[in-house]
Amino acid sequence: MIRGIRGATTVERDHESEVLAATTELMNALIEKNGIKPDRVASLLFSATADIRSAFPSKVMRQFSGWKYVPIMNMQEIPVEGSLARCIRILIHVDTDLGQEDVKHVYLRHAAALRPDLTE
């Protein structure tokens, strides 16, 4: 079954090193908590708010072994008034045996406010 696994995080400043570090932290958490193997991933989507312009969040995937052939795309979030600033979101479409309720979505830093019902 293909499941969507979600995650989000924030950065304090729009600097490439901070964007890439936060994205790496989020990807590592998603992979670890859900036992994700790259050969089971159908696609990987990254989005960032308009105030992040220093780096493509997906650039971090070059350091992850085995992810070379996974289709990856970056996009910009809709700039809704009052929305969370400097936010990076990830959606992974993965073939998994996990039930919908067993998927572990990950919301880090200020992004934990987006889905307090899913934050551990």
Residues forming the annotated binding site for prephenate?
A: 6, 89, 107
Neighbours of 107 (CB within 10 A): 23
**Residue 62 φ/ψ, nearest 5 degrees:** -65, -25
Distance between CA atoms of residues 82 and 71, nearest Å:
31
In eight-state DSSP terms, residue 59 is: G
Q: Which residue ranges are tagged as binding site?
A: 6, 89, 107
